[in-house]
Amino acid sequence: FYNSTFTRNFIAAMASLLPRGAAAARRRLLLRPAPLAPGPVRAASQALSAALVRRAGLVGGRWVETAAAFPVQDPASGEELGRVSDCGAAEARAAVRAAHEAGAAWGRLPAKERSARLRRWYELMMENKEELARIITAENGKPLREAQGEITYSASFLEWFAEEARRIYGDVIPASAKDRRVLVLKQPVGVAAIITPWNFPSAMITRKVGAALAAGCTVVVKPAEDTPLSALALGELANQAGIPAGVYNVVPCSRQQTAAVGEVLCTDPLVSKISFTGSTATGKILLKHAAGTVKRVSMELGGHAPFIVFDSANVDRAVAGALASKYRNSGQTCVCTNRFLVQKGIHDEFVEKFAKAIDKELHVGNGFDAKTTQGPLINEKAVEKVEKHIKDAVSQGASVVTGGKRHSLGKNFFEPTLLTNVTTKMLCTQEETFGPLAPSLFQSSAIVLTDFSSCICVCTTGYFYSQDPAQIWRVAEQLEVGMVGVNEGIISSAECPFGGVKESGLGREGSKYGIDEYLEIKYVCFGGL
**Active site positions, annotated:** 300, 334
Within 8 A by CB and 6+ apart from 38, the residues are: 50, 51, 53, 54
Q: DSSP states of 4-57 as a string?
A: SSHHIIIIITTGGGSPSSHHHHH--EE--SS-SS---EEESSSEEP-TT---SE
What is the rounded CA–CA span in Å between residue 378 and residue 201?
12
Task: Judge whether 300 and 498 are in contact, CB under 8 Å.
Answer: yes
Selection from 447, 477, 440, 480 nearest residue 338 by Cα: 440
Q: DSSP states of 413-458 as a string?
A: -B--EEEES--TTSHHHHS---SSEEEEEEES-HHHHHHHHTSSSE
Measured in whole angstroms, the distance separating CA 216 from the mean position of its chain's CA atoms is: 23
Task: Judge whether 14 and 149 are in contact, CB under 8 Å.
Answer: yes
3-class state of residue 65 by DSSP: coil
What is the rounded CA–CA span in Å between residue 295 and residue 272?
5
Q: Indicate the burial class of 444 (C-beta count within 10 angstroms; 0-12, 13-18, 19 or more).
A: exposed
Residue 423 amino acid letter: T
Q: Which residues pair with 465 in a beta bridge?
A: 309
